[in-house]
Amino acid sequence: MSRWLAVVGLALSACGGAARSGHPPASADWSGAFPSNEAGVRQTIAAVSAPVHGYQRNVLQLTVWRIDGERWSEVPAAEVMAAAPQPASDWAVAATLQCQFDDGQARFLRGAQVWYLLVGDRLLAWDHYEFVRACEPRSAFRPAPESLAGRERTLVSRLGTCNPACATSQAEFYEKGRAFARVERTEDARAMLRQGDAARDWHYDERPRVPGPHASTRDPSPAEARAALVQDLGGEP
């Protein structure tokens, strides 16, 4: 009998609640590159819901909102998938994902929460996770520009997740800080720097990290990622 290893992703255990309700439509299918600015809300729902290769991914919860100014209206995912495209609409999509993987000697279980913001039915910002060997989470993060940062904060607040963003490793805090710096959200970048520094006492999985589809050939070490973020902030931690 294989031994059981349950690895609960920090994106869930350290970052609070999940999207409220809804389940992915059974007919969802998407084979294009994702995340991508070319994706609309239906492609986003399909990409999150579609089966993946190499491991089992379960969508535990999926929530979709149509956004009209300050009004957020929850819409069933199946209804969105069945409707005609609405190119003028703004949307938010959030999902709680679970990875299950069995390598013949051990079984792994890990979770992550993802979110996506769309403007004019085009994907604009995202906090996206995929999984690789042994359900290790791999992040692709693009924060909203300053002009739409308030909308992103509203979504993060609704989800009860980390503020301003979650991370599953110390280096990821710094890497996400750099993403905030690139869109001139300096205060959020500094917040990620502080959280990364505070995370030095956290216990992280020490297995060698495998580059994911949105990663470079070699992940930066925490020290390298921190130094790059400090440089992005003008050399002042």
Summarised one tens digit per residue, pLDDT across range 2-30 is 332 333 333 333 343 333 334 445 444 55
By the 8 A CB rule, do 140 and 214 touch? Answer: yes
- Fill in the amino acid letter for 4: W
pTM: 0.82
Give dist(CA 104, CA 60) in Å, integer: 25
Angle between helix axes 186-198 and 222-232 (nearest 10 degrees) is: 150
Give dist(CA 98, CA 63) in Å, integer: 15
- Fill in the amino acid letter for 28: A
- On the question of pLDDT at 224 being above 90, the answer is yes
Boundaries of every domain in the chain: 3-232
- Fill in the amino acid letter for 133: R
Average pLDDT taken over every residue of the chain = 83
Q: What is the separation, in whole angstroms, between the first and last Cα of the chain?
A: 50
87 pLDDT band, cuts 50/70/90, is: confident
Give dist(CA 11, CA 17) in Å, integer: 10
